[in-house]
Amino acid sequence: MQSQAIGGSMQQRNFEMIETNGVTLRVVVEGNGPLIILLHGWPQSWYLWRHQIDPLVAAGYCVAVPDQRGYGGSSSPHEVSEYTILKLTADVDGIRKALGFDTFKLIGHDWGCIVAWNTALLYESTCTAVMGLSVPFWRVGNATINPKGFDDKFWYIRHFQNEHADDELNADVERSLRILSHGLGADSPPGTWMEQLSYPSSKGLLDVLPEPEVLPPWISSEDFEYHVDQFKINGFRGPTNWYRNLHNLNSMTPQLEGKRFSQPAAFVAGTDDDVLLYDINWRDWFVEGFEDLRFLELVDGAAHWLQVEKPHETTALILRFLEEVS
């Protein structure tokens, strides 16, 4: 176990390097009690959950927050095939095994949501509750990669299928993260992220998003510096490889077609999250996938990064869910 001072607050965090599933994962592990695993998404690290860790520990949980494979201090294999949904979900259950727990509750955000939803379905006997933030569950199909009617327009998921798409982001990591944070953040007007569909497909991702002059109000310069440093370790290759496996997600998990979640579940998103614009009728089909959906809440004034944009409200909803399912 390593103890390390983090960010502007110089707070100490305890990291464990967990060997599982052919990789080494750097995982914040703190507290005692039932196991809660928190999964970040793209382009983030464990640090996205910095406001939630202490309240969950204080509530009596053992909290494990990994840098998922490809990110931060964890292994970052080069090969695209190392980032399939089967490997990503096995990593999560591997954390449970390494920490010596029989069961765990799981909360994911963004791409971490996709991993969390699929982990809950694939590891039904060990994952006893699941909560998603920002990305509803759906069976990813070709329409996700190639939106109908936009064949000649820029779409980041299709763009990421290009083997060298991450080179643009790696050229200036600080600038890339500044633009990406703003593009989906509450400091940008709703719809900013979706404006990329008005640009030709020949553009790069950083060409189709506005570049902010200042950092968003929900991240300090010290916190942003730490965020950038985590991406400078391995760059964007591993994280972008997650997108390069979307085309085979369904074919690798045919047993999940039509399967409903048996565990207690909940979903939370920001009212201004552009991800919810991918399908404006998402509520209609989303709720049908659960046998025990405890609640669906939208956090007013939050966009995609609700853990840091509205930390108190988000943490309260997480604690509410955990109390209900304990």
What residues are annotated to the active site?
110, 304
H helix or E strand, kind and range, residue 94: helix 85-99
DSSP state of 215: -
CA separation for the pair 25, 38 (Å, rounded):
13
Q: Count Cβ neighbours within 10 Å for each residue of 146-182 and write b for 16 or more, e otherwise.
A: eeeeeeebbbbebbbeeeebbebbbeebeebbbbbbb
Q: Count Cβ neighbours within 10 Å for each residue of 33-63 and write b for 16 or more, e otherwise.
A: ebbbbbbbbbbbbbbbbbebbebbbebebbb
CA separation for the pair 201, 319 (Å, rounded):
42
The answer to whether residues 69 and 93 touch, using CB atoms and an 8 Å cutoff, is: no
Closest CA to 230 of 76, 20, 112: 76
**What one-letter code names the amino acid at 276?**
L
Listing from the earlier edge strand, what are the strands of the sheet with 127-133?
2-6, 11-20, 23-30, 62-66, 35-39, 104-109, 127-133, 265-270, 293-299
Report helix angle 50-58 to 311-325, nearest 10: 40
CA separation for the pair 26, 19 (Å, rounded):
9
Sign of the torsion angle spanned by Cα atoms 191, 194, 197, 203: positive
Residue 217 CA: distances (Å) to CA of 7, 182, 186, 324: 16, 10, 9, 32
Query: What is the tally of helices (H) and strands (E) in the chain?
Result: 13, 9
- Output the six-digit token pair for 129: 């509750």
